[in-house]
Amino acid sequence: MSVDRATSADRQAAPTSPAAGSELASSGARLLRGERTWWFLGPGGIARLADRHVTPDGGLRPEAEQRLRESGMFTAATVRSYALTVLTSTHCNLGCGYCFQNTAQDLAGGSRPPRIARTRLTSETITSILGFTERQMAAVGLERLRILLFGGEPLLNPRGCLELLERAADIAPTSAWMISNATLLTPSLARRLHDRGLTSVQVTFDGDRDDHDRIRVGRADGSGTFDKIVRNIVKASEVTPLRWTLRVNVSQETFHGVDALVDRLGDALDPTRCTLYFARIGDVGVGYANSLLHTGELSSAFTRWQRRALDLGFTVNRPGGRKTCVTCGHTDGRYGAVVSADGTLASCWETAGKPDWEVGTVADGYLPSAETGDRWIACQDLYSYDEDARTLARFRDTVDTALLDHLHETGRL
């Protein structure tokens, strides 16, 4: 049995028996059958198992389970930092038609769909947010802070971003990351943000250049954004050690251009500083429908894209067991919080800034659970698919098994 504590041709993973599967699932673990080995994915890491460790019906033998438990593979890592997500601006300079923060479609067919109410983070609200954060951290004994700068587009309020990070450092050791469209990221701003604790930025690409420039457009004039985003990442990388997570949205609109996109990004950027991941978009936006289903073609495509990314030097996240989100996985906001620019609390970034989804304020704290039960949304809860849970699980298991096999065969695992 080989244990890996690191947490971070279409072939279907062998299913476990119903009893074994439900038992593993309840612990957040998965057991997958690879080409030459079995893979155990638990909250505490990855283990490679032999046939002798697994029963004929696909369950763990008692001695194998005991050793995995003793190795900590069934135990999630201890939470060490309070996870604070702050929307520094709820407005956005792009007009993506599928955005989950749109409240309706652009009836003129342009690039200006109506959005959630526009608010900006102010110094006064930062004071309230940091006071709330100090109280929350003290309640659970956490001494470190991890901030996510979010929007809208967070860089529509660069002053708010910088002030929040600078003042947060006064209450706790702080690091930060940001989800941004990167169209407003200048080298000077990147340097200033990094000096205040920003370590990484997540940027989305909607397929290759032509698809991206048709979908991810400027709100003011419908202009394409692909070249500007790539250019800004290159320039920011020249003056900072920032790392980049490149999310590739996969839909029927972008599917056929992803192979070219991976190669294009490999040529334009430094792959050793980038993590690349592929996300099949759910039906999250007003009037948006993704007809690309989790079929054999899609799983083999994901496998092909991941392998090409690895060949080019990109990082591809390792699969893992199911983990509880520190931010939205606890109904009392125990280990993290999502705060909109006006100081209202949401359970998750998906509902932040949306009317009737508030679960409290930083001034008064969380509302009683009896009042927020129907408003407490966890990650992915708002995503809907026209497929059943078994189909989705099969897709995930197939892709993850192929990736683990490849990482092992190439000496990366």
Q: Which amino acid is at 15?
A: P
C-alpha dihedral (134, 136, 137, 140), degrees to nearest 10: 150
User: What residues have CB less than 8 Å from 19, skipping those under 6 apart?
Assistant: 57, 59
Task: Find residue 279's DSSP bridge partners.
Answer: 249
* pLDDT bracket for residue 288 (50, 70, 90): low
- Round to whole Å and give the CA distance between 226 and 183: 9
Return left, alpha or beta for 222; rule: phi > 0 is left, psi -120 to 50 is alpha, else beta. left
Tokens of 96: 């993506």
The answer on pLDDT for 110 being more than 70 is: yes
CA triple 338-341-347, angle to 5 deg: 20
Burial 149-158 (b: 16+ CB within 10 A, else e): bbbbbbbbbb
CA atoms of 343 and 126, how far apart (whole Å): 8
pLDDT band at 389 (very low <50, low <70, confident <90, very high): confident
Query: Strands 336-339 and 81-87: what pairing?
Result: parallel
Q: What share of the chain is helix, strand, coil (3-state, %, to 5)?
A: 35, 20, 45
156-210 per-position pLDDT tens digit? 999 999 999 999 999 999 999 999 999 999 999 999 999 999 999 999 999 999 9
* pLDDT band, very low/low/confident/very high, at 323 (cuts 50, 70, 90): confident
Most confident of 35-44, 281-290, 314-323: 35-44
Q: Which residue has the tokens 């839909």?
A: 251
- The pLDDT value given to residue 25: 64
Distance CA 369, CA 360 (A): 10
- pLDDT digits over 69-108, tens only? 999 999 988 999 999 999 999 999 999 988 989 999 888 8
Q: Lowest mean pLDDT: which of 104-108, 150-154, 163-167, 256-260? A: 104-108
Closest CA to 399 of 300, 261, 313: 300
Per DSSP, 36 falls in state S
CATH architecture of 79-413: Alpha-Beta Barrel (3.20)
Domain boundary assignment for the chain: 2-77, 79-413
Q: Is the pLDDT of residue 292 over 80?
A: no
In Å, what is the CA distance from 413 to each residue of 2, 8, 31, 75?
10, 11, 17, 20
**Percent share of the chain, pLDDT over 70:** 90
Q: Quote the pLDDT of residue 11.
A: 33
- The overall average pLDDT reported for the chain is 90
Does position 410 have pLDDT exceeding 90, yes or no?
Answer: yes
pTM of the shown model: 0.92
Token digits of residue 133 = 């954060």
pLDDT for the residue numbered 287: 62
Please say if the pLDDT value at position 117 is more than 60: yes
d(CA 35, CA 401): 9
